[in-house]
Amino acid sequence: MTDAQYHGCRGAEEMHEEFQTVLREHLARYPLMEPQDCAKLAYQSTFGPAHAAGERGDVLRQLLGECSALPADREARPPERIGNGLCRVHLSGTGDWTLAAPLLADLLLLTAAEHHGTAADLEECLTAAEALPLPGMADWLAVYRRQGCPPVHHSPAYREAYDPHYRVLRTAYGGDFP
């Protein structure tokens, strides 16, 4: 099923419910999430890795650099669904990334080429996030919307607590990585 078919057969209510479920899963797993982290999740669920895609060589160099900087004892984690047929594939310090990184880079670029969200889809996810009782969410989202909903980084609290290192892929591709 193409993204156009996937999006076309899903209504706004279904997207809203799916993203609220995903967001609740992430809030349970990462209780220090802030509104900014919820917006990042919404953006990734909507647009996939489009903002992280570029020339294959650049994507591969960045990936290898990030993997080589991870501690060797960083355990592999299973992919996490983020909704909309996408998942976060976590990077670990184990294994030989010189073999896996080219495949991961290719799958990231393929995901970016195939996955196309819209501003309306993002707004549906943000509305779902706004409905959850997270302190400061409405105020943060009001500012974010006035800024035009750009891609954002994880909050400092999230980065400090969870040290996120991952790539966004179609869920069908995520199973190829531990």
Predicted TM-score of the model (pTM): 0.88
Are the CB atoms for 16 and 128 separated by under 8 Å? yes
Rounded to the nearest integer, the mean pLDDT of the chain is 88
Residue that has been written with the tokens 């500012």 in this structure? 143
DSSP string, 9-43: TS-HHHHHHHHHHHHHHHHHH-TT--HHHHHHHHH
> What pLDDT, on a 0 to 100 scale, did the predictor assign at position 177?
64
Tokens of 139: 């105020």
pLDDT classification of 4: cutoffs 50, 70, 90: very low
Mean pLDDT in residue range 34-56: 92
Predicted confidence (pLDDT) at residue 73 exceeds the cutoff of 60: yes
Predicted confidence (pLDDT) at residue 119 exceeds the cutoff of 80: yes
CA angle 177, 70, 52 (to 5 degrees): 65
Predicted confidence (pLDDT) at residue 151 exceeds the cutoff of 80: yes
> What pLDDT, on a 0 to 100 scale, did the predictor assign at position 53?
78
Q: Which residues of 81-97 are buried (b: 16+ CB within 10 A; e: fewer)?
A: bbbbbbbbbbbbbeeeb
Are the CB atoms for 63 and 101 separated by under 8 Å? yes
> What pLDDT, on a 0 to 100 scale, did the predictor assign at position 159?
97
> What pLDDT, on a 0 to 100 scale, did the predictor assign at position 92?
80
Share of the chain above pLDDT 90, in %: 66
